[in-house]
Amino acid sequence: MHEEIFRALDDGASIITATHRLARVLTGEFHAREIAQGHSVWGRPDILPLDAFLERQWRSWLLNGVRDGFPRLLDAAQEQVIWEQIIFNSPEGETLLQISETARTAVAAWKLIHSYRLPVDGRFEATDDGAAFRKWSASFRERCEANRWIERARLCDFLTERVAAGEAPDVKAARLAGFDQVTPQQAAWFEVLEARHIGDAANFKAAIERRKATDKTREIWAAAEWARRILEQQPDARIGIVVPDLKQLRLKVERIFRRELETSDYERLFHVSLGPSLSDEPLVRAALLMLEFGRDSLALPQAGVLLRSPFLGGAEVESGTRALLDAKLRKGGMWDVTLADLNAAAGSCPLLQRVLGRLDKERQKLPERQSATEWSRSFARLLKALGWPGDRPLTSREHQLLEAWGELLSRFAALDLALRPLNFAQALARLREMAAHTAFQVENEGAPVQILGLLEAAGLQFDHLWIIGLDDETLPGTANPNPFLPLALQREYKLPHSSPEEELEFARGQMTRLLASARHIVISYSELAGDRALAPSPLVGAGPWQVAEDRTIFTDWIAEARTSLVMESLEDATAPPLRADGMQSGGASLFRDMAACPFRAFAKHRLQAKPLEDPVPGLSYSDRGSSVHKALELIWRELKSHARLMELHPNELRELVARHAGSAVNDLGLGAAQEKKRLERLLVEWLELEKLRDPFTVRETEYKCLASISGLQVQTRADRVDQLDDGRELIIDYKTGNLGAGPWRGDRPDEPQLPLYCVTNAATVAGAAFAVIRTGELGFRGLTAADISLPSFDREKANNFEEELARWKQVLEALAEDFQAGLAEVDPKPKACDNCGLTALCRIEDYKSDRG
């Protein structure tokens, strides 16, 4: 498809491409051409993207006998550091929060200045940003001149001068491919090389099909299925999927194409450009996490990720025991996990203890500060001590990541040029930032489906092409001028993204090229983006748009495959009946879980399935609730009665509460002092409310007893049992969280524990009430006999208390019988799944999907 380019290569020319992708594609097509011609040996084609070509010319100049004192070429990371230092030490740096991002914008502005030959003059003083940049750029140039550095922005000019002066070696014939636009700086370089454009512009006269979809997801699905259908009929077809906003949609695009082209080697079927950052890749993310652990402690969630990582030495053998260790640490409520903590808890994981021991030895060798080169070596040793990248064989992608990680450490080591010795935290932060701004692109292994952005499509040709996202918000794009360059100057020199007119002209040129780059082209747009209505881009002209999802283009081929098979469906929602041998674990929570969802009760109380604890820094809601329960237990064990409460002087009451609040928070650790103050204020106010009650005696606190319902025996525990003067009892449950409306209503009550206590209590019960004790809400809620009155009482609407007791008994008996019969249906109440933690086990989303 690029015969003119190939003939130039045969004649010994060098091909300079606008993009790395075009260079790879042309190289691959050249090799395929040589094979097709029956050649067994041939030279490597000289095809390079412009930046790689410039670097090669730089090296050639250096090897051509340059005199002493030649300048040193800065790489991107070194230049970034120098700009950051200049900005940080400037007066403006004192007020900037994101110096690294400011430096990146300054680097981009500096590159534009040289690419478009912009004058740095008084116009920069019109804005504070422009004036600051003018000072920074002057400092940058002075520093480069003083140290004989040259940055990438000036490399092209430097080489142009060397070639023009006859100092650089002769350049053989050069040809250009894929350049939609050429900057003045590039034009001068190409003129010196006597380079000219060569047949890279296709001129297919394609019939254009127009599709529209309801939303972006459906539009991508339609393109993915279109590509799959073509591959089924034409396995050797070259298919292009151009997505203008690919950077924002990359994850969605990759997920949908992976599912639609689902095979064991999907990466060979499609290739997505604009890869994620290196730090987003699991292998590298694990390495950075391990280094963080080598520096200091980890928060428990991060420690859990590290324990379950396949890239930690010994993971293949100890994966199960390490997962249990994670659960153990979570249950213990530890938030910060140190190396010593983890080593002490890892008795069941000897391989883990071994790698932790090696890590500790390496860590002790580290100095307080050292150079970036030395830190690079130290990081490699720390990771080796931890067995990174793990014991299992690496995939092709992971091997490439390992190579990219090595290159990252090399670039990090090169920062010695501009950085003083660093401590561990500074070095790791710099390495992490570099990884976050390093794009990783898996090698393109000749995938038939190429998914790319507008710029990366430059110079490429396809058999079939689908351009996604041609709506009026996406193309032409929004103007985005550089904030450090005067806007009038940008528009005068027609810089990219400087004005709507430039965006329109640029987009028009791209569309003209794309619409001539394939024999078969489909263009599409989405009618909606959220709640916004979209229209076709004005760049695609007028014409009828067919609805993609109303045709066979948008179908769920997995669903089609399922419906075409004869399948037998079996729904088994009943477990073996429970043997009524002794007491069932779970207590009152068994009835609450059974009411919420039968499967939850089965999983938790028969399978003993438990979700992982979800610790939080500081005191959790559970800690605060437990402190209230414990303090009130201690208070009422001492007081014993309403009469004694009434006898206390206010100062005595505050002293009593303070003493027992201190005991209640004694084991809470960090945050205990603040929690004690909260308890003192809250419980004094609560006890003042209890003074308004009729006389009572506290018969039991944290009362445990055996309850039996329809033969199901469970251990129950009531927070408090008050005995009234007439001998009847009032059962109270402390509530420190939100309490929904009608917690005892219906056949599946939200809070069945108090009804359970009432119907199984041996003595006569006069009522059940929640004591709601939370800041801003103090009072009683529940149901009592008609003659019982409580302060701030929100009485449940129901029949008389005796009739309600009978109804509660029926409800609890039904729940107990269903549990014993083995009922395990996935049937959650509304919102029951929100805090369940077992949805991965019941697969509720799949269950809902199957039922439509």
Per-residue model confidence (pLDDT) at position 119: 94
- DSSP 3-state assignment of 255? helix
> Residue 263 has what pLDDT?
63
Cα R_g (the chain), whole angstroms: 36
Grade residue 551 by pLDDT with cuts at 50, 70 and 90. Answer: very low
d(CA 484, CA 102): 10
Length of the chain: 852
| pLDDT for res 554 | 44
The span from the CA of 773 to the CA of 781, in Å, is 11
Residues 475-509 pLDDT 10s = 888 889 999 999 999 999 999 899 998 888 888 88
Tokens representing residue 96 in the block: 């900037």
State pTM to two decimals.
0.79
Residue percentage of the chain with pLDDT more than 70: 93
Contact predicate 565/559, CB 8 Å: no
Helix (H, G, I), strand (E, B) or coil at 544: coil
Is the distance from CB of 703 to CB of 690 less than 8 angstroms?
no
Residue 763 has what DSSP assignment? S
Those residues whose C-beta lies under 8 Å from the C-beta of residue 363, and which sit 6 or more positions away, are 294, 339, 382
Structure tokens at 48: 């390079």
Domain ranges of the chain: 3-67+161-197, 75-150, 207-237+246-272+468-473+497-557, 278-436, 568-614+692-852, 617-635+647-686
| Cβ burial, residue 463 (10 Å; 0-12/13-18/19+) | middle
More confident residue, 304 or 548: 304
| Mean pLDDT of the 534-561 span | 68
442 and 267 in contact (C-beta within 8 Å)?
A: yes
Q: Which residue has the tokens 């010319």?
A: 57
Distances (CA, A) of 559 to 28, 221, 555: 37, 14, 8
- Mean pLDDT of the residues in the chain: 87
Which of 102-116, 562-576, 664-678, 802-816 has the least mean pLDDT? 562-576
Give the separation between CA 196 and CA 159, rounded to whole angstroms: 18
Residue 542 has a pLDDT of: 73
pLDDT of 401 reads 94
Alpha helices in 165-208 (DSSP H): 184-193
Lowest mean pLDDT among 182-196, 458-472, 489-503, 730-744: 730-744
Topology annotation, domain 568-614+692-852: Lambda Exonuclease; Chain A (3.90.320)
Paired strand residues for 778: 773
The whole-angstrom separation of Cα 307 and Cα 304 is 5
Any idea which of 352-366, 414-428, 544-558, 593-607 has the lowest mean pLDDT?
544-558
Helices (DSSP H) in 665-700: which residue ranges? 672-690
DSSP 8-state assignment for residue 648: -
Highest-scoring range by mean pLDDT, 11-20, 451-460, 532-541, 629-638: 629-638
User: How does pLDDT run across 322-381, given as a tens digit for each residue?
Assistant: 999 998 888 776 778 899 989 999 999 999 999 999 999 999 999 999 999 999 999 999
Report residue 552's pLDDT band, with 50, 70 and 90 as the boundaries: very low
What was the pLDDT predicted at 202? Answer: 57
Q: Residue type for 218, please? A: R
The confidence score (pLDDT) of residue 799 equals: 66
Q: In what order do the strands lie in the sheet with 793-795?
A: 696-709, 712-724, 729-735, 765-774, 777-784, 793-795
* pLDDT > 50? residue 755: yes
What's the whole-number mean pLDDT along residues 694-701? 92
Structural tokens at position 91:
């007066």
What percentage of the chain exceeds 90 in pLDDT? 43
pLDDT at 555 over 70: no
Please state the rounded mean pLDDT for residues 182-207. 81
List, for residues 236-289, the tens digit of each pLDDT value. 899 999 999 888 888 899 889 988 887 655 567 888 887 789 999 999 999 999
CA-nearest of 815, 806, 707 to 756 is 707
Would you state the structure tokens that stand for residue 225, as one six-digit string?
């299925």
Q: Up-side HSE of residue 473: CA atoms within 13 Å toward CB?
A: 13
What's the pLDDT at 310? 95
Tens of pLDDT, residue by residue over 425-457, are 999 999 999 999 998 887 766 788 999 988 888
Give the pLDDT confidence score for residue 840 in this predicted structure.
Answer: 81
Determine the average pLDDT of the residues in 802-815.
90
| Band of residue 558 on the pLDDT scale cut at 50, 70, 90 | low
Q: From residue 710, how far is each of 240, 749, 754 by CA, in Å? A: 67, 18, 17
pLDDT exceeds 80 at position 569: no
pLDDT (tens digit per residue) in 112-161: 999 999 999 989 999 999 999 999 999 999 999 999 999 999 999 999 99
Identify the CA nearest to 192 among candidates 40, 16, 436, 27. Answer: 16
State pLDDT tens for residues 36-70.
Answer: 888 888 888 999 999 999 999 998 888 876 666 68
What pLDDT does residue 775 have?
A: 86
The pLDDT score that the predictor gives to residue 207 is 77
CB 544 within 8 A of CB 489: no
Summarised one tens digit per residue, pLDDT across range 375-414 is 999 999 999 999 999 999 998 889 999 999 999 999 999 9
3-class SS at 181? coil
